[in-house]
Amino acid sequence: MATTTSSQPNFEPNVTPMLDVLLVLLIVFMSITIQVHRSLDVQLPEVCSGPCNGAEQIVLEVRPGPEYRINTMVVAPSELAARLLAIYGPRPRKEIQIAGYPGVRYDDVVHAMDVAKSAGVSVLGLAPKESYLKK
């Protein structure tokens, strides 16, 4: 009596370990995506339905040197904080636009933003290139 046990090779892959690896990778990528995601709060300008009044808009220009101008009035770097405090103290809306000219150092623009924030400015805007290069 001869018994033949012919064991056939199983050609079906074992899917369970592959699914485990896939789920671990999915969790890792989901956690990395949450940590890497950074956002900026942006307020888009409102469209003027009637005549637009730009008199209340204040623009802080940062020029190379550094040289600062508030609505085309030259302000010394040492007096910038005091001047912004004087301007924004009585104002209910504390908004400013910052215009950085070509060739100005990034540190100077960030410094101007920090000084404006310390003066009580709540909304910082960046002026578009065309608005200050034509002057």
Structural domains in the chain, CATH included, are 59-133 (3.30.420)
Contact predicate 58/85, CB 8 Å: no
Span of 1-5, 34-38, 119-123 with lowest mean pLDDT: 1-5
Say what the pLDDT of residue 25 is.
95
**What confidence category does residue 27 fall into, taking pLDDT thresholds of 50, 70 and 90?**
very high
Q: What average pLDDT does the structure give for the chain? A: 80
Which of the pair, 22 or 125, is modelled with greater confidence? Answer: 22
Which of the pair, 76 or 12, is modelled with greater confidence? Answer: 76
Say what the pLDDT of residue 24 is.
95
- pLDDT per position as a tens digit, 45-57: 666 665 555 547 8
Q: What is the mean pLDDT of residues 102-128?
A: 85
* Distances 70 to 18, 60, 79, 113, 127 between C-alpha atoms, Å: 63, 5, 11, 13, 13
Say what the pLDDT of residue 26 is.
95
pTM of the prediction?
0.56
